[in-house]
Structures are given as C-alpha cells and as structure tokens.
A and B are shown apart, each in its own frame.
Chain A
C-alpha cells in the first residue's frame, strides 16, 4: 500500500507541476504582454510599462513561473490588480461561500441517491424501479442552472419562503446563511443525485446476485438486512469512483449556480475578474480549482486502493 501511495503521490506532483505550467503559459505567455491586455487598448504607454514592472514581467518567463509556484506554496497568490488586496485574502473570503455550498450539494446528493437507489434495486423491473429510473433520466438532462431558476421562481418569487439570491454573510448567523445556500445546493444536487442513484442501483443489482448475499440470506438475514449490511457496503466502491469523477462537474456547477443566485463565491470572483481583465485573480482561481480536481482524483484513487487491494498493482 505504501509503495502505491508513494508512486501515486509522485504522479500527483507531476500532474500538478504540468497543470500549473499549462495555466501559466496560457495566461502569461500566450497573450504576449499581459500588462497591455489587462489595461486594454486605450491605456497609455507609461501606465503599461509601470504595470509591466509591477507584475515582474521584465523577468524571464521561467523564473516568473518558479516565483509564482514558490509564492503559491507559501500561500502568496500575488495582489489583485483591480481590488489592490492580496488574492489569497479574496479567495479565502469567497471560499467561505463556495466550499460550504459544494459540500452541502455533495451531502444532499448522497442523502437523496442512497434511499432512491435502494428502493429501485429492491423493486427491480417493477413500477417503482422504472419510474425512479425515468426520473433520474430527467434529472441528468436538466441543466442545474435552469433547475435553479425554476426553484427561485417557485420558492422565492411565488412562495416567498427564501431569498431569491445574495448572501448575508456568515456573520449574519448560520440560519440566514443556510437559507441563502439551500436552493443553490438543491439545484446542484439534482443531477449529481440522479447519476449517483443510477450507478448505485446497477451496482446494487449486480451485488444482489453475488454468492455472499445468498449466504447471508441462508444465514437467516432478512432481505432488508442483507441489502443494507452487505450489498450497500460493496456498492460503495463504484459510488466513490463516481463522486470523484463528478467532482469537476460539481466545481463547474457551483461556479455557474453562484451566478444564478448572486452568491459572492469563487465563481462570481472569477467572472468579475474576467470582465475586469484581472489576470492575476483568474490565474490563481483557475489553478486552485484545477489543483482541487487533481487532488480529489488522487484521494479517490488512494481510498479505492485501500478498499480494494487488487488495484494497488496498477
């Protein structure tokens, strides 16, 4: 196991190094002069030259890349051009919205998917199964931002139960913050839960035919107990894989959903940064999100290997 973790860690760091290099090349080398790009066509020569120096663009690209990497490792992401505050501060504030939202969505999708999949698997081929599968088919096809808009219409515009958008901040109390995050989390969770329920159902259907389930039943366990104690536990492996694979969709979804609800999270930050051509912020946010995808994939692989020793040999 240790050898596997070491080998996998090496490739994690290699992927991170290349991924950061890709972001660096796209955002700092491709545009020619990022300072000119950030200031726009009407900028004066001397303003551009000043920003050029401030950004350290007179240094060679390779040394800038390593300075940037070293900065990130120590938590220094540079200073936002438009906000004139450290990017790490901006990102930290925004993460306080994005992270809880993503986690709520993840939790909700698991909480919804499990019972739904168990009911479907137990009634395989019957009406309950077919209708659940049809529903998940719809759930996968519904864009989460459209579902979000519909939720806003029903719960905020028509019923006036929750605010239609905005975020009061955690200082306003957990209750108010939770109210602001519940609709976005539900919208994000719908497609995730649908995919999860489908995967979990077919995994359960597969395991229900395994010999150990029959043995468990022969031992006198009820159908219900055998299902929950043995089948669900074994079906967890594919679920873990799907959660890992879906993580990048969850990130993308969160960024888009924040725009539906005007939530001041990472997603809003990056879109504001694009409009203001604040490449420093764009660069940091993109790297942060890419790194999180790479790291989650890594963790899922490790967890997977811990559960199933056969996978360590790869």
Chain B
C-alpha cells in the first residue's frame, strides 16, 4: 500500500465521487438518528385519530399515518433503530470475529482449522433463522435482531482479519519485529492491525449496510424492535394493509432504507478506492 498522508487522503476524498455522495447521505441519516434522541417534530407515542392519514403539509412535512402519527418523526426514530441495531451487530462481529481470525492466522494448525470450521458452521445460520430460533424462545425484540445479525457478522470479520493477517505475516517488517524479540500480541497490535485496519473499515461499511437491510426485513416480519419503537420494516408492514387508500405510506420508509443502504455502499466503495489505491485500477 502506498504511503498515506493526510493531504493525499483529502485529495482522494475530493476526487472520489462515490465517497463524497456516500458520506453525505450517511452523515444525513446519522444526523437524523442522533437528532431523534433529543427532538422529533412530533412525539410518536401520542395517537391522534383526528389527524390520521393527512397528506404532506407545513405542519406534517410528510403527512401522518393511520394513527395520526407524524411520518417524518417515525422515520427519524426508525433511522435510529436501524442504525443502532446494525452498528451493534457490526461491533459484535468485529469484537469477536477479528481476534478469532488473528488467532487463526497467528497459530495456524488445528486452531486455525477449528476456527475455519466454526466459520462454516455459523455461515449456515442466516440472521433470519437465528432470529426465528431466538424469538421462538425469548419472544420478539430488538436484542434478537442485534444478536442474530451480529452472530452472522462474526465469521465475516474473522475471514477478513485472517486473510489480511496471513498476507502480512511473512512480510519483512513483521519478521524484523520477531527478530527484535517482540511478542506475538505486540506484533499483532503494532504491525498487523494497523495494516489490516482499512480492510476492516471497508468490510465494516458493507456489513453495516447489510445489517440495515437485515434489520428492516426482521422488523417487517415482526422479529425486530417492538412497538412503540418505530422501525422502517414495521412501518412498511403496516403500510401494506392500507395500500388501496394510502399508498404513500409504503413509499417513505422504503426510500429511507434504499437511501441509507446505497449511501453506505457508495461510502464503502469510495473508502476501498481511497484506502487501497492498488485496487482502483481493477475496479474502474
């Protein structure tokens, strides 16, 4: 990888349109989610049947739903739910998966083999099936979604970390550190992790966007966060029953999901180009 200086990163960011657009969309959604912690145009736990199914107006920018709740407020809280679930799930994947992958790469042999087989096993449990099992026992809730998506993220990050670590394991600077008498943990912390950090950041962005999609799917089928917490998935589920007379309700949450996921995907593509200039030519 070429030397990265703050100036070169800044230039790459200016030149990389994927990154700029993706970062802008992601920042906007993040901002809406954070803002919803302290302020939404209307509270969403107050039902007002008199205001139900209003069209867009100065009072309600995106109108109201069948309970008279402000759609924009619901979307903001939905953003918060989505992001929280996907982010924690990525965190689970990184915190458990990365050490596993590094351990496999460092030790090799049966430990590595065992970790790889564990990865294969976890891959057989799509988030939806894990969520089905957890819900069957503990009942539905946001935690199920987080755990189910998080579990599936573990082997993903383990593989990326392992692959990256193996590529650097035989490089001169790692061998030099070994000769200098540095311990395994120190070598990983000082030489391997900084070098694979960009791989992990890119993968993290991809898993973040997949997590948003998975959360939407789970909450659509009722396996995610429960009322009164708003989720984009459940908003769509409720909208579906009112499609004949209020099709607009099915529009906004879907657009919110698409925008967020596309923003994160573009951000990921852009980050990959910026962080790994060698890849740029192949992708273009």
Contact = CB atoms under 8 A, between A and B. Distances in A.
A26 interface: yes
A301 to B, nearest CB: 10
A145 B133 contact: no
A143 B126 contact: no
A22 B121 CA distance: 10
B250 A256 contact: no
Contacts of B243: 149, 152-153, 157
A153 B249 CA distance: 12
Contacts, number: 125
A274 interface: yes
B126 to A, nearest CB: 4
B136 A259 contact: no
Interface in A265-282: 270-271, 273-274, 277, 279, 282
Interface residues of A, number: 48
A141 B261 contact: yes
Interface string A141-180: 1110110011011000100000000000000000000000
Given A15-B120, A143-B217, A274 B135 contact: yes
Interface in A256-297: 256, 259-260, 270-271, 273-274, 277, 279, 282, 285-286, 289-290, 293-294, 297
Interface residues on B, range: 35 or more
Contacts of B244: 157
B148 to A, nearest CB: 10
B67 interface: no
B161 interface: no
A248 interface: yes
A143 B254 contact: yes
A138 B258 contact: yes
A18 interface: yes
A110 interface: no
Given A15-B121, A153-B243, A260-B240, A271 B221 contact: yes
B127 interface: yes
A19 B130 CA distance: 12
B158 interface: no
Interface string B219-258: 0111000000000000010011001100100100110011
Interface of A: 11, 14-15, 18-19, 22-23, 26-27, 30-31, 37, 137-138, 140-143, 145-146, 149-150, 152-153, 157, 202, 248-249, 251-252, 255-256, 259-260, 270-271, 273-274, 277, 279, 282, 285-286, 289-290, 293-294, 297
Given A143-B258, A282-B136, A294-B124, 18 more contacts: A11-B117, A19-B125, A22-B125, A26-B134, A37-B137, A141-B262, A142-B258, A143-B254, A143-B257, A146-B254, A153-B250, A248-B124, A252-B126, A252-B128, A252-B129, A255-B221, A271-B221, A279-B136
Interface of B: 117, 120-121, 123-129, 132-137, 209, 213, 216-217, 220-222, 236, 239-240, 243-244, 247, 250, 253-254, 257-258, 261-262, 265-266, 283
Q: 7 closest A-B pairs (Cβ-Cβ)?
A: A146-B254, A252-B128, A141-B261, A248-B126, A141-B262, A282-B136, A252-B126
